[in-house]
Amino acid sequence: MTDDIAEHAAGSRSGRRNDPERRERIISACLDVIAESGVAGASHRRIAAAAGVPLGSMTYHFAGIDELLREAFTRFATTISARFEERMAAASDAESARAAVVAIIVEDVAHGTRDLVLAHELYTLATREPGYRALTTAWMQRSRAALERHFDPQTARLLDAMIEGISIHRALDDDPRDLAEVVDAVERITRSA
């Protein structure tokens, strides 16, 4: 039996080996391209090149660029939410919950410009497109639910907004923010909680 026939018999299409990781690589490459060039620069061609896959793979795995963007941003939001939830789940009392919020701000959210760029690209889409707004709404709900393990709903809402706000300021302000400022902000919001 020739190699092509053997590969085809083993379950591959067109005599080529299956690439079960291809779809995931495309999603990862999509996030990389968005982080580098924004949503406006995220073309099928550019994403395929970044993923190292043939251009035809794009339409095989995704009905269009919108489906790919939704999948990529869903993965991004889920990853960020999981980190957030892990931090809050590890807290055992109010003091460790406050420390977890501080760690989310200074270690997780400020993890690098890549996550900040991806978040802002998603926020921009969400202001215009209801489907993406549903994604950001679900992300905020997960964050608040994690915070509500330790704080009342109103405090959780304020903390969630403060986490976003301070994170944006820390990332975009030329003057570095002091850790003490973050600790003080979390303390002020949670003092009565």
Question: Smallest Cα–Cα separation from 84: which of 114, 108, 110, 117?
Answer: 108
Matching CATH topology for 1-62 and 72-193? no
Say if residue 171's pLDDT is above 80.
Answer: no
What residue type is assigned to position 27 of the chain? Answer: I
Q: What percentage of residues in the chain have a pLDDT greater than 90?
A: 70
How far out from the chain centre does Cα 185 lie? 24
- Return the pLDDT at 104: 92
- Return the pLDDT at 9: 36
Check whether domain 72-193 has CATH 1.10.260.40, yes or no: no
Alpha-carbon span 138 to 42, nearest angstrom: 24
**CB-count burial class (<10 Å; 0-12, 13-18, 19+) for 45:** exposed
Residues in the chain, total: 193
Mean pLDDT in residue range 80-98: 95
1-62 homologous superfamily: Homeodomain-like (1.10.10.60)
Q: What is the reported pTM?
A: 0.82
Average pLDDT across the chain, whole number: 87
Cα–Cα distances in angstroms (integers) from residue 21 to residues 28, 50, 53, 152, in the given order: 11, 14, 11, 42
Domain locations in the chain as residue ranges: 1-62, 72-193
